[in-house]
Structure formats: C-alpha cells, structure tokens
Chains A and B, each alone.
Chain A
Amino acid sequence: KAGVTQTPRYLIKTRGQQVTLSCSPISGHRSVSWYQQTPGQGLQFLFEYFSETQRNKGNFPGRFSGRQFSNSRSEMNVSTLELGDSALYLCASSFQGNNEQFFGPGTRLTVL
C-alpha cells in the first residue's frame, strides 16, 4: 500500500506570495491533518479534515487555510507569506477510529 505523498517536496517563495501544498493520504484514510515543524516552535497542529470538513483547527492566523476533496486528497494554502512561515509542512493521514497517524515526507518551504 502506498504511503502518504506530498508535493512539492521543496519550495522557495518570496515574502507576500502565496503557496499551495498538496497531500495524498493512504488509500482508505479519510482523515488528513497538517502540521508545521520549525526548530523554534517544534511540531504544531494546523488543521484536520475529515470527509471534506474541517474537524479541528490549530492556533494559526487566517492566512493558513486548507481543504479536502472527495477523494480525501487535501491541500493547504498560505497567503501573504512571511519569513516566519519557512518550515517543514507535514501531512498525516489516519483511518477512522485508529490512533496511529501516518506522516508524509513533508514539504520544505523557504520564504525569502
């Protein structure tokens, strides 16, 4: 069974631009969560989608948004990029009722 895939793997943007990251969960997994990982703040929860609905949301500004499609694939968008948005963005999927989350390799975003 294929794992969680994320595209692109690396991205360089400049301040003020916007970016869209994509995540394809493991087949059959309907829950997709997004996390931001930085050396200073560690792993922080962004949001979770389940059956195309946002089920949980972390403490990030409204510049961070996401969505989930009917095939469970998910995208997250960051608008008006700031230098502090430079991070590894991780996507994780899980099967309903299962406590194990499967993480993708991440997208390394650098904002210049």
Chain B
Amino acid sequence: GQSLEQPSEVTAVEGAIVQINCTYQTSGFYGLSWYQQHDGGAPTFLSYNALDGLEETGRFSSFLSRSDSYGYLLLQELQMKDSASYFCALSAGGGNKLTFGTGTQLKVEL
C-alpha cells in the first residue's frame, strides 16, 4: 500500500514564503501531485511531479526527490486567499487512482 505524511498545520504571514513537506511510502511510483482545497470547496489541482526536480507554476513550485521519497510544495508571496488545506497525492499504479496525504492546513496571517 501507500502512505503519505504531511504536517497538519502551518502558519505564515502575508508576503512570506512557506514550504509544505510530504514524505511517502510506496511500492510503486508514477508521480506526486498537489491539490488545494478551501473550506467547503472542491480540491483543485496545483502541480504534478513525475521526475526529480522543481516544477514552477507562478507563485507555486513543487519539488520531488524520488530517492528520498520526499516532495514539497513551495508557496511564494503568500496572500490571504492562500489560506486553505493542501494535499499531496500519490499515483502509484495504472489509471487515475490517487492516494492522498492527510493534508496541511495553511493559515496566512496579516
């Protein structure tokens, strides 16, 4: 099976940079995704890493190290609207099955 661990909560101030870590255990690996979910909303896709290294999409970047079974999401120039839950999710087999981490609640303060 697969398991993913994330910090349960992270707090940062507006304008700052925050990193949300994700460590995983799996017997197979296709890729690591990140999703954002606001309270009462649906998860929305942020990024996907299949290979080691950094993927950048605007203010958000995601990093993967397959040898360390580790990834992180980096959020820059934090805004109040970034307050949400962030999930890492593992693709480890054929098809579109995602195994989600426990989620990290990000609180952005003034």
Query: Which A residues contact B (CB, under 8 angstroms)?
Result: 4, 31, 33, 35, 42-45, 48, 50, 55-56, 58, 90, 92, 94, 99-106
B interface majority secondary structure: loop
A48 neighbours in B (Cβ, 8 Å): 95-97
Residue pair A99, B100 in contact (C-beta under 8 Å): no
Q: Is B42 an interface residue (CB 8 A)?
A: yes
Q: Which of A42, A94, A100, A105 contacts B100 (CB 8 A)?
A: A42
B-side interface residues, number (CB < 8 Å): 23
Query: Can you identify 11 A-B contacts, CB atoms within 8 angstroms?
Result: A4-B42, A31-B95, A31-B96, A35-B100, A45-B98, A48-B96, A90-B43, A99-B91, A100-B48, A103-B43, A104-B42
A-contacting residues, B70-110, CB 8 Å: 87, 89, 91, 93-103
